[in-house]
């Protein structure tokens, strides 16, 4: 099973959504899980994981799968080329380094050069920035590149983002 997480923050709350799917190329065969938490940590530059990681872990505890092949997060696995962990890296550690993590970011992180790959999809001139842990970064790029959609952001990841902003996911 492939899981993809994203969170949206509002009024000291976080709505975290997970899409679960079995095939990288799927467009509509997925399950949706979500949760709203209150009293969320403030955003601290360079420490985003302190805000989002508790949200992901909380939702992950509620959705049990026999086998998780990989988790995709909106953000970075590493923050620099000295392996300083970002959200994805901290999640990997929390999962006892048993589940590979792919970070997909829309904006570049300047201090990260070697530990990221750029992926241009569709006709976009702007790349996605891919990082991974527990999985070869080139394989991570291959997986994200194979996801359905004609635009920069794969269809499922676009859908995930829109679900985080909707009042509910039903």
Convert the pLDDT of each residue in 85-144 to its tens digit: 999 999 999 999 999 999 999 999 778 888 899 999 988 999 999 999 999 999 999 999
Residue 131 lies in a domain: yes
What's the CATH number where 92 sits? 3.30.2170.10
Q: Treating both helix axes as pointing N-terminal to C-terminal, what angle do 49-62 and 87-94 enclose, rounded to 10 degrees?
A: 40
| Local confidence band at 147 (pLDDT 50, 70, 90 cut-offs) | very high
Residue 71 lies in a domain: yes
- Determine the structural domain holding residue 32 and report its residue range: 2-165
Residue 118 lies in a domain: yes
| Local confidence band at 161 (pLDDT 50, 70, 90 cut-offs) | very high
- Residue 65 has a CB neighbour count (10 Å cut-off) of 11
Q: Are 104 and 87 in contact (CB under 8 A)?
A: no
Specify the number of domains making up the chain: 1
Residue 170 lies in a domain: no
- Residue 96 has a CB neighbour count (10 Å cut-off) of 7
Residue 92 lies in a domain: yes
Using CA atoms, how far apart are residues 20 and 152, in angstroms rounded to an integer?
21
């Amino acid at each position: 099973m492939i899981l993809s997480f994203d969170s949206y923050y509002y009024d000291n709350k976080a709505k975290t959504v997970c899409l679960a799917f079995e095939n990288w190329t799927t467009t509509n065969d997925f399950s949706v899980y979500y949760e709203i938490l209150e009293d969320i940590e403030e955003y601290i530059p360079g420490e985003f994981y302190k805000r989002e990681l508790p949200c992901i872990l909380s939702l992950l505890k509620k959705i049990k799968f026999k086998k998780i092949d990989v988790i995709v997060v909106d953000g970075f696995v590493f923050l620099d080329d000295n392996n300083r962990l970002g959200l994805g890296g901290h999640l990997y550690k929390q999962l006892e380094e048993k589940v590979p993590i792919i970070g997909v970011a829309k904006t570049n992180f300047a201090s990260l050069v070697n530990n990221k790959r750029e992926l241009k999809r569709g006709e976009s001139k702007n790349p996605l920035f891919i990082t991974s842990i527990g999985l070869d970064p080139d394989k991570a790029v291959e997986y994200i590149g194979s996801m359905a959609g004609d635009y920069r952001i794969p269809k499922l990841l676009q859908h995930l983002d829109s679900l985080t902003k909707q009042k509910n996911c039903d």
